[in-house]
């Protein structure tokens, strides 16, 4: 959606909602795949294991962005 917003001049609000609507079922499908038993075609991590994995990934991204400041615009980096 970032490509559609930037190059096709799709409105920011519309691009957000399209990405949100598309990402929710995709995320749910990944969660189901990770948590379902192997006999049902999943990886068998269970709900606790899947939640712990998602938490670790989210915390890792937050720590990475906090330390690297890659999400901060160059002008804002100079102020700190």
Average pLDDT of the residues of the chain: 86
Distance, in Å, from the CA atom of 60 to the CA atom of 44, rounded to the nearest integer, reads 23
User: What's the total number of domains in the chain?
Assistant: 1
Q: What is the pLDDT of residue 14?
A: 85
77 pLDDT above the threshold of 70: no
Q: Which residue range(s) make up the domain with 69?
A: 2-79
Could you identify the residue written with the tokens 């330390």? 67
Q: What is the pLDDT of residue 80?
A: 60
7 pLDDT above the threshold of 70: yes
pLDDT tens track for 17-52: 888 898 899 889 999 999 999 999 999 999 999 999
Count CA atoms within 13 Å of residue 47 on its CB side: 0
Average pLDDT over residues 5-25: 83
């Amino acid at each position: 959606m970032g490509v559609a917003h930037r190059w096709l001049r799709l409105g920011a609000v519309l691009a957000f909602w399209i990405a949100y609507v598309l990402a929710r079922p995709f995320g749910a499908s990944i969660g189901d795949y990770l948590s379902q038993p192997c006999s049902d075609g999943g990886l068998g991590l269970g709900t606790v294991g899947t939640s712990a994995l998602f938490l670790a990934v989210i915390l890792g991204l937050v720590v990475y962005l906090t330390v690297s400041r890659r999400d901060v615009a160059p002008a804002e980096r100079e102020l700190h």
